[in-house]
Amino acid sequence: MVKETLEKLVCLTRRVPKDNVSEEQIAAKLDQLRCEGYTTFSHLVGKPEFVKLASHIARAFEQEMAFTTPCLAQRRIEQVRDADLIEKNFLVSTEELVSRGLTFDRDDIHSYEQVIEEFAPSTLKLPIPDLPQFLDLWLDHNVTKVIEAYMGFTPILREAYIRRNFPCSYPVMNHKWHRDTNHRTHLLKAFIFFTDCDLETGAHHYIAGSVGDSRFRDKVYYDDAEIESGFPAADGKKISSVVPAGTIVLEDTRGLHKAGIPTRDYRDLGFAVFVPPSLPGFFKPLYRVNKSSYDSLQPSQRRFIPSNHIEKR
């Protein structure tokens, strides 16, 4: 209760004018977000500066191997022994996965190719690179204008990371239909596609208009058949992100969504999670930015970065 009260007070100090979006194209995206729960931006598709950032991401995964560990190794899963975890879609702590011998760690890594062959990870996770260009992308002005207008205030960038998804045998958490619960009333997530995406490389799926729908709220995860029973494909509510690299999809992920499992290659996807601001002491930073990168941002962008995320070095 105290946290919620303080959060509301902080939001009042960060309010933006109602419908503070004048450009016709941006206003149309805000209308779509309000009506359907998602909207799409394509202004970075094919831009050389974005291509350079995508190449940086590829190097970070494949050459620097800067992804976080420990990671779940699909190759170590045994269907009978690990049936309980399979049933839970592996919604358990990292500590439990480690104790079950289902992970690999930094000391187990010799090369990127060895990681893929020996461990078969379903996902590798990379923190947002601490470079000004990436912060500027995560806080793209076209996107943040819509975010502020939708929420009515300037939220904080709570999470910032990249996932590389691979083909896998066992669905893991967000591979199933679900609703995000980061915040009950205000939540937006931007998905930044660093690779071309189609149904075979793991398209992201969303049910348009499902934010306020009262159905499918009694459990954490749902299968395709369950969602199909409530939202038949013929209704046109299921939106799949068959998009080129450079596309940004903005969603209210309190609506139903899931990550598609690639059947070939992989998908590199950046995540930017926006929630109401709170006093820094109420939460731990999930990413860090150095002071010089923070200072390179425009004042309007700096408002999205909580003070306890800034490293003075």
Could you tell me if residue 223 is inside a domain? yes
Quote the pLDDT of residue 269.
98
Q: What CATH number is given to the structural domain containing 140?
A: 2.60.120.620
Written as one letter, the residue type at 225 is A
3-class SS letters over 12-66: HCCECCCCCCCCHHHHHHHHHHHHHCEEEECCCCCCHHHHHHHHHHHHHHHCCCC
Could you tell me if residue 75 is inside a domain? no
Q: Angle at CA 188, nearest 5°, toward 186 and 190?
A: 170
Could you tell me if residue 91 is inside a domain? no
Could you tell me if residue 165 is inside a domain? yes
Could you tell me if residue 141 is inside a domain? yes
What range defines the domain where residue 129 resides?
Answer: 2-65+123-305
Token pair listed for 296:
């390179």
Could you tell me if residue 313 is inside a domain? no
Could you tell me if residue 78 is inside a domain? no
Number of domains within the chain: 1
Could you tell me if residue 112 is inside a domain? no
Quote the pLDDT of residue 16.
80
In tens digits, the chain (313 residues) has pLDDT values of 666 776 777 777 788 876 566 678 789 999 999 999 999 999 999 999 999 999 999 999 999 999 999 999 999 999 999 999 999 999 999 999 999 999 999 999 999 999 999 999 999 999 999 999 999 999 999 999 999 999 999 999 999 999 999 999 999 999 999 999 999 999 999 999 999 999 999 999 999 999 999 999 999 999 999 999 999 998 999 999 999 999 999 999 999 999 999 999 999 999 999 999 986 667 899 999 999 999 999 999 999 999 999 997 6
Written as one letter, the residue type at 144 is T
> Measured in whole angstroms, how far is the alpha carbon of residue 69 from the centre of its chain?
18
